[in-house]
């Protein structure tokens, strides 16, 4: 992992040249999950022509290659650089929570460069706890913890989430959860129509919102140009949640995520096997 850390010290201009090579390797040579990505795109956008699907697919792999080098670069960016490269259009929405002494939850997604968002918030005065899934490889896990700790971000392993929320309840902050992946326990998932098929969503994210009684926002992110991004926050739900139907918070998040993907279709993580679980296998009619 020392080699990856060393690469991160190199200028972004040089790293983007490496990204161009990496793109050729994963797209043309290896064809990393190319069939899966193509299948996902065709099923999500049946109205698009084969030419349009191919264009989106290529743009996705180019972004994926850039994401790799940009993640390596994160610990070596200055506060000024991260703020310049990640602009927040409606910062006042989340700043108002902090100014009022209110912690809040940020439901995000694997869209654009999600790894840069926490640093863009902490450098603007919003303390961030970020929830992550522990990696099987210890060295890789330690490396990603170091990356995600950049700019004072506080990483929390998923298995310790509720304990950490209780322990840190007096700290005004946002807790970031990436909530768009396939659920580990599909038999307990919220099943909702999403990108033209029934899709399982984590029930735990909504449960956390209801338990903590925190407001929930969704951070939509898209690429302005290479290495530069825009973040736009949307309100997902506001407490009290007592009269809110079960699944309503998840459904609101799902709608916002789907709209964001449709606006910028190349920028979601299409290589993730999002639809490996089928509703009919886990939900009896």
Q: Which of 175, 182, 202, 225 is nearest to 63 (CA)?
A: 225
- 175, 105 in Cβ contact below 8 A? yes
CA–CA dist 66, 69 (Å, integer):
5
pLDDT band at 2 (very low <50, low <70, confident <90, very high): confident
pLDDT band at 99 (very low <50, low <70, confident <90, very high): very high
> What are the beta bridge partners of residue 191?
200
Could you state, in order of their start, the residue ranges of all structural domains in the chain?
2-275
Q: Is the dihedral of CA 66, 59, 273, 28 positive or negative?
A: negative
What tens digit of pLDDT does each residue of 111-150 get? 999 999 999 999 999 999 999 999 999 999 999 999 999 9
Confidence at residue 5, expressed as pLDDT on a 0 to 100 scale? 83
What tens digit of pLDDT does each residue of 165-180 get? 999 999 999 999 999 9
Provide the Cα torsion 115, 275, 47, 231; round to 10°: -20
Confidence at residue 285, expressed as pLDDT on a 0 to 100 scale? 59
Q: Taking 90 as the threshold, does the pLDDT of residue 103 lie above it?
A: yes
Confidence at residue 283, expressed as pLDDT on a 0 to 100 scale? 75
- Mean pLDDT of all residues in 50-62: 99
Confidence at residue 184, expressed as pLDDT on a 0 to 100 scale? 86
Confidence at residue 75, expressed as pLDDT on a 0 to 100 scale? 97
What tens digit of pLDDT does each residue of 7-54 get? 999 999 999 999 999 999 999 999 999 999 999 999 999 999 999 999
Confidence at residue 282, expressed as pLDDT on a 0 to 100 scale? 81
Mean per-residue pLDDT of the chain: 96
- Mean pLDDT of all residues in 88-111: 97
Q: Taking 70 as the threshold, does the pLDDT of residue 76 lie above it?
A: yes
Q: Taking 90 as the threshold, does the pLDDT of residue 208 lie above it?
A: yes
CA–CA dist 233, 229 (Å, integer):
13
Confidence at residue 45, expressed as pLDDT on a 0 to 100 scale? 98
pLDDT band at 280 (very low <50, low <70, confident <90, very high): confident
């Amino acid at each position: 992992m020392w080699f990856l850390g060393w690469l991160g010290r190199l200028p972004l201009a040089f790293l983007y040249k490496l990204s161009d090579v990496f793109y050729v390797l994963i797209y043309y040579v290896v064809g990393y999950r190319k069939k899966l990505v193509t299948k996902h795109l065709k099923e999500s956008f049946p109205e698009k022509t084969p030419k349009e699907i191919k264009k989106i697919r290529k743009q996705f792999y180019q972004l994926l290659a850039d994401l790799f080098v940009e993640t390596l670069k994160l610990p070596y960016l200055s506060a000024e650089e991260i703020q310049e490269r990640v602009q927040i259009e409606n910062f006042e929405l989340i700043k108002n929570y902090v100014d009022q002494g209110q912690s809040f939850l940020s439901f995000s997604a694997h869209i654009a460069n999600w790894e840069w968002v926490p640093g863009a918030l902490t450098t603007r005065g919003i303390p961030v706890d970020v929830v992550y899934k522990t990696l099987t490889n210890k060295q890789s896990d330690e490396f990603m913890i170091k990356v995600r700790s950049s700019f004072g971000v506080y990483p929390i392993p998923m298995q310790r989430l509720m304990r950490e929320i209780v322990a840190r309840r007096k700290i005004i902050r946002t807790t970031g959860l990436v909530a768009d992946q396939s659920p580990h326990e599909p038999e307990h998932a919220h099943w909702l129509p999403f990108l033209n098929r029934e899709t399982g969503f984590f029930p735990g994210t909504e449960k956390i919102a209801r338990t903590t009684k925190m407001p929930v926002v969704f951070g939509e992110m898209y690429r302005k140009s290479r290495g530069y991004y825009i973040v736009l926050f949307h309100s997902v739900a506001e407490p009290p949640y007592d009269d809110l139907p079960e699944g309503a918070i998840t459904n609101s998040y799902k709608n916002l995520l789907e709209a964001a993907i449709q606006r910028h279709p190349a920028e979601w993580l299409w290589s993730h096997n999002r639809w490996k679980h089928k509703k009919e296998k886990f939900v009896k009619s």
